[in-house]
Amino acid sequence: MSNVRASVITIGDELLIGQTIDTNSAWIAQHLNAIGIDVVRRVAVGDDAGAITNALDEELGKAEIVLVTGGLGPTADDITKPLLAKYFGSKLVLNETVLAHVKELFVKRNRPFLERNVKQAEIPDNCTVLHNKIGTAPGMWFEKDNKVIIAMPGVPFEMAGIMEDEVLPRLQRRFVSDAIVHVSIITSGEGESFIADKIQDLEEALPKHIKLAYLPGLGAVKLRLTGKGKDKEALTKELTLRRDEMAARLADFVVGLEDVPMEHILGRALAEKKLTLGLAESCTGGYIAHLITQVPGASQYFKGDIVCYLPEIKERILGVEHSTIEKYGVVSEETAIEMAKNTLKVLNCDYSLSVTGVLGPAGDDDEAPVGTVWMAVANKEQVRTKKFRFHYDRTRNKEMAVQMGMLMIWKFLNHKP
């Protein structure tokens, strides 16, 4: 454990009443990790001076670097800046560079510059200003007893900008650390316990500086090996060897060796094979298309999606026979097959996936029991169908269906059962 330790404090009542989900902490952790800094704790406190001061005291006792996000906005509920000035025994002074930048942003956005915005340019006189290119509240870098405290606004993309432009390069220069390397295996089709049993001997044989974690996800279990060491190259080699050994043992269930979402794995497979994909989504309502188009360059292989939420649209655009829906129901293998086959023609694509189901809550639709979803994947030669039954709520059923759908295309493409 020779790595430099960091702790992240996020400030804001909205975090404590659950109105905001904290995505900043994960972002910060990922990026610190990449330069060999361990995040050892994350703490969230409200907009309360006592709680913030107490958190600073405690976290400074546990880490060399403390990152604080939130509480730097222009409105009255933001109390962090004056508090930090007091904590570090400094006073707030107007910073002309920051003021010019704030004014420029207001002109650019065509917004009136108000008296209260001047306050955003008042900075404690003993910190280093960290430039916030895209926002009005700058970051601040304090030092105390050889420790570093960094305060940033809570708006995610502003925080990320300051981290990338200012914080990460400075931290890297200042703290020399052990390298941390992660490698992953993405598996699908079996549970955590089953996987663990299959590789128990390999897990037990891991040296002390390599840790294995199981991360169960939606229809997938991710295995992550994390190693620490002085020599990054040697460590990477060692981890890759261990990973490959485990992956070979788990071969039938391995979807990929990179820690990327399914839409990236699928996108890469389509791009490599120079194949195009089209979708016909009913109950998943465009979610699969949304994920597939999150990947830059998706236009290479993704043609489009007919979100046919009503049966009327399945007939009108996809040309599903009215008699098929009458006879078998909207949620049926037969309807899924017609949807998938016709999508190949309608969207002029090499492969297609169709999804039709009932996600809940009960009563929304009486076609089939809640949680029933039929999917079909097709190319010109073949169709493959599968029936799913999900047992969660609407949102989770949708997420499961979406992951299973992408996996189904991937397996079909790769001739896996």
Q: Site residues for a copy of itself, window 178-197 (CB under 8 A)?
A: 182, 190-194, 196-197
Residues 254-283 binding a copy of itself (CB under 8 A) are 259, 279, 281, 283
Of the candidates 31, 283, 248, the residue with the CA atom closest to the CA atom of residue 152: 31
Minimal distance, residue 294 CB to a copy of itself, in Å? 7
C-alpha 189/C-alpha 320 separation (Å) is 31
Greatest alpha-carbon span in the chain: 79
- 3-class secondary-structure state, position 210: strand
Find the binding residues for a copy of itself in span 37-76 (CB under 8 A): 38-47, 51, 55, 58, 73-76
Alpha helices (H) in 70-199, listed in sequence order: 80-87, 96-108, 115-118, 156-162, 168-174, 192-198
Chosen residue from 79, 86, 317, 384 binding a copy of itself by CB under 8 A: 317
Does position 360 interact with a copy of itself (CB under 8 A)? The reply is yes
Compute CA distances 362 → 226, 310, 390, 397, whole Å. 44, 17, 13, 13
Backbone angles phi, psi at 343, to 5 degrees: -60, -35
CA-wise closest residue to 400 among 263, 255, 219: 219
Which position among 203, 238, 338, 350 is part of the footprint of a copy of itself (CB under 8 A)? 203
Convert residues 138-177 into a mask of x (bound to a copy of itself by CB under 8 A) and - (unbound).
-----------------x-x--------------------
Among residues 388, 374, 380, the alpha carbon closest in space to that of 337 is found at 374
Taking contact as CB under 8 A, which single stretch among the options 166-174, 245-253, 341-349, 409-417 is the one that binds a copy of itself?
341-349
Nearer to a copy of itself, 165 or 192 (CB): 192
Q: Does 319 bind a copy of itself (CB under 8 A)?
A: no
Q: How far apart are CA 251 and CA 269, in angstroms?
A: 18
Backbone angles phi, psi at 376, to 5 degrees: -135, 135
Q: How far is the CB of 243 from a copy of itself (least distance, A)?
A: 16
How many residues sit close enough to a copy of itself to count as binding (CB under 8 A)? 109
Site for a copy of itself in 396-415 (CB under 8 A): 396, 398
* 167 or 346: CB nearest a copy of itself: 346
Using the rule CB under 8 A, which residue among 304, 328, 333, 386 binds a copy of itself?
A: 304
Residues 84-123 that bind a copy of itself (CB under 8 A): 109, 111-112, 114, 116-117
